[in-house]
Amino acid sequence: MGRAHVVPEGAEARLAEHLLKTFEAMGLRAARQDVGRGRANAIGRLDGDVPPEHGGTLVLLEAHIDTVPVDGMTIDPFAAEVRDGRLYGRGACDVKGGLTAMLGATERLASSRPEGCPTVVLAGCVNEEYGFTGARALCDLFGESTSIVGGRPDLAIVAEPTGLDVVVAHKGLVRWRCRTRGLSVHSSAPETGHNAIYDMARVVTAFQRYQAEVLDAVGPSPDLGGPTVSVGTVAGGAGVNLVPDRCVIEIDRRLLPGEDPEAAWRDARDWVDAASGVPAIHERPFLAASPLGRATNASIADQLLRAVRERRPAAAARVVPYATDAALFSAAGVPSVVFGPGSIEQAHTADEWLPLAELDQARDALARFLAPAATR
């Protein structure tokens, strides 16, 4: 989540190494893709009956291996306590449950080797919660036939807690920081300085007007609602007895399918500058992800749903407001859906937990889906 590393190994490094050893123990080829300091994607490959370059199917299973901080949790975040059919702990729901289901399904495929076994690439990617850099790096391998991926996947399933429904569309996002500058003087004579917080108050009000006057006028989509903007953090000033010479806010803009993150950022920036009359400094976005549309993934969703419904008849295709790695794979030309055990309502919570029954059901559904994959 953008914090400094708090262990010598840094970030997701220990989990990536554990995954690589797990892949090798399963009989998969394994490779590490360095993404940043202490951050590496862990990639495993199970070769199918027919190589992708000879017409065989290439399936990507992907789960992010980072999670959010443990501040404020009411349980031991790392005890992995099991009670009442639930696994409690930070990351259990978002998204180690989905990752574990993918590992179990791939291991079953590796052991049974059903006729028509596809090539499966299982990737644990870093930094989904604060930048999508792991998924972006993985996409870079799609054009390299010599990489462990071996080309562009025919389809992708991305792990997130969907309650065993299949997500076919979701919003995108763009996030950035905006700064105002002032002149710091002693608070006994504020008229001799310039208050950066007062300027920022006008900017924040302009963002509120942008939602009401611009985004609300777009109107909601039938199933995703409307586009939104939200000012999420504000910081400024050095002390109560000083006129602040700086203030910074962070903005979150959610996008509907068809919207472009860069264009959305520019439009909001320009409108707010004109409406506020403040010479604010808008930094380049530190996070951007396109929305996931459903134009290319209907066939995958239908087949995955058939596999899920063998044990969970009520499973359905649906849309969600949050963003996932699936949008990046879809933008790279890979039809993608989102699927996994657990509820998004439990993600990031103070007592995060995963229902173990859904973990078993997710693993079984993925295994059934993969077995006939080469016949698609």
DSSP 19-53: HHHHHHHTT-EEEEEEEETTEEEEEEEE--SS-GG
Q: Is the pLDDT of residue 373 over 90?
A: no
Q: What is the mean pLDDT of residues 100-111?
A: 96
Structure confidence at residue 220 as a pLDDT band (50, 70, 90): confident
Domains of the chain listed by start with CATH number: 13-170+291-375 (3.40.630.10), 177-289 (3.30.70.360)
Q: What is the pLDDT of residues 7-31, one digit of tens each?
A: 656 679 899 999 999 999 999 999 9
Task: Please give the pLDDT value at position 146.
Answer: 86
Structure confidence at residue 374 as a pLDDT band (50, 70, 90): very low
Task: Please give the pLDDT value at position 222.
Answer: 80
The closest alpha carbon to 42, from 148, 151, 113, belongs to 148
Q: Is the pLDDT of residue 176 over 70?
A: yes
Residue burial 330-361, b: 16+ Cβ < 10 Å; e: rest: bbbebbbbbbbbbbbebbbbeebbbbbebbeb
Structure confidence at residue 38 as a pLDDT band (50, 70, 90): confident
Question: The pTM is what?
Answer: 0.89
Q: Could you count the other beta carbons within 10 Å of the beta carbon of residue 108? A: 17
Q: Is the pLDDT of residue 5 over 80?
A: no
Place of tokens 């790279």: 332
Task: Please give the pLDDT value at position 131.
Answer: 84
Task: Please give the pLDDT value at position 376.
Answer: 40
Q: What is the mean pLDDT of residues 33-56?
A: 92
Side-chain-side CA neighbours of 35 within 13 Å: the count stands at 29
Range in 5-9, 46-50, 151-155, 233-237 with the lowest mean pLDDT = 5-9
Share of the chain above pLDDT 70, in %: 96
Q: What is the mean pLDDT of residues 320-328?
A: 93
- The span from the CA of 327 to the CA of 212, in Å, is 27
User: For the chain, what is the mean pLDDT?
Assistant: 94
Task: Please give the pLDDT value at position 44.
Answer: 98
Structure confidence at residue 207 as a pLDDT band (50, 70, 90): very high
Please answer whether residues 163 and 93 qualify as being in contact, where contact means their C-beta atoms are separated by less than 8 angstroms.
no
- The span from the CA of 11 to the CA of 5, in Å, is 6
Task: Please give the pLDDT value at position 37.
Answer: 84
Q: E strand or H helix at 327, and its extent?
A: helix 326-331
